[in-house]
Amino acid sequence: MNSQRLRNASDLLHAAWMDGTVIDALPETCRPRTREEGYAIQALLEPRSSLPIYGWKIAATSLAGQAHIAVDGPLAGRLLAERVVPSGGTIPPGANRMAVAEVEFAFRMARDLVPRPTPYGVDEVLDAVASVHAAIEIPDSRFEDFTRVGAPQLIADNACAHYFTCAGPTTADWRDLDLAQYRAVGRVHGRSECEGQGANVLGDPRVALAWLANELSALGIALRRDQVVTTGTCVKPMPIRPGDRVTADFGALGVASVTIG
């Protein structure tokens, strides 16, 4: 697609996000047909923000997450700084048709991983990590039925990013832990509790982090120092409604919490 069609698609999605409305699908004239076109539309979100991006999210790293949005593999999206709520805070009120909370491992980077022809290995990516955090993502989509629009449009829709909460860095020696077998508990207090483990995230959240680094590298994008990567839900997405208090309990790795406005 030419630059004007990319801009038209971005304008429609951004307007829906800001207004809390939805669209059926992007018009044929500016609908992405490939993942690359979807990412080109998504990239136009960045200049709309007055702040550097906070980091990156990975959607659909678990079978449950893939089933939730009807795709067969992961998608990358941008975490916008103005959509990050401190742990213990409250998500601003507003429409959210997905209405789920996701419990996630998040990693903050210590140094840049720049684009290159050869893929990054998992150990190499982990060497560039500063800290691990308990996190909660509250996703949403700007599409009326996000289960039928397909991966390119969902990527254009910022991989269903909406709000994000991240606890402080763990003081535990996380590098000696088997994060694939590490268990986490998500709670919607007074209503539900769900347990999962790191293996639900592409087999290991460390593998998911490396996937993100390589996905960005292939797009010519650097994963920057201090950016946070949240690696996808390790529990089944938990239904939420206004007034709920949600926690992601990672034991020694920390606890993140947020209230739904």
Of residues 17, 51, 8, the one with CA closest to residue 157: 17
Residue 72 is which amino acid? D
Place of tokens 């509250």: 138
The count of structural domains within the chain is 1
Q: What percent of the chain has pLDDT over 70?
A: 100
Rounded to the nearest integer, the mean pLDDT of the chain is 96
pTM for the structure as a whole: 0.96
Phi, psi of 182 (to 5 degrees): -70, 135
Q: Are 258 and 89 in contact (CB under 8 A)?
A: yes
- Assess whether pLDDT exceeds 90 at residue 65: no
- Please tell me the chain's helix, strand, coil percentages from 3-state DSSP, rounded to the nearest 5: 30, 30, 40
- Residue-number span of the structural domain to which 148 is assigned: 3-260
Of residues 131, 249, 172, the one with CA closest to residue 258: 249
Place of tokens 């909406």: 162
DSSP letter for 135, please. E
Q: What is the CATH number of the domain that holds 135?
A: 3.90.850.10
Please compute the mean of the pLDDT values over residues 221-225 and round it to a whole number.
98
Please compute the mean of the pLDDT values over residues 186-200 and round it to a whole number.
96
pLDDT confidence of 95, banded at 50, 70, 90? confident
pLDDT, residue 74, reads 96
pLDDT, residue 72, reads 85
Token pair in block for residue 235 = 């529990």
pLDDT confidence of 67, banded at 50, 70, 90? confident
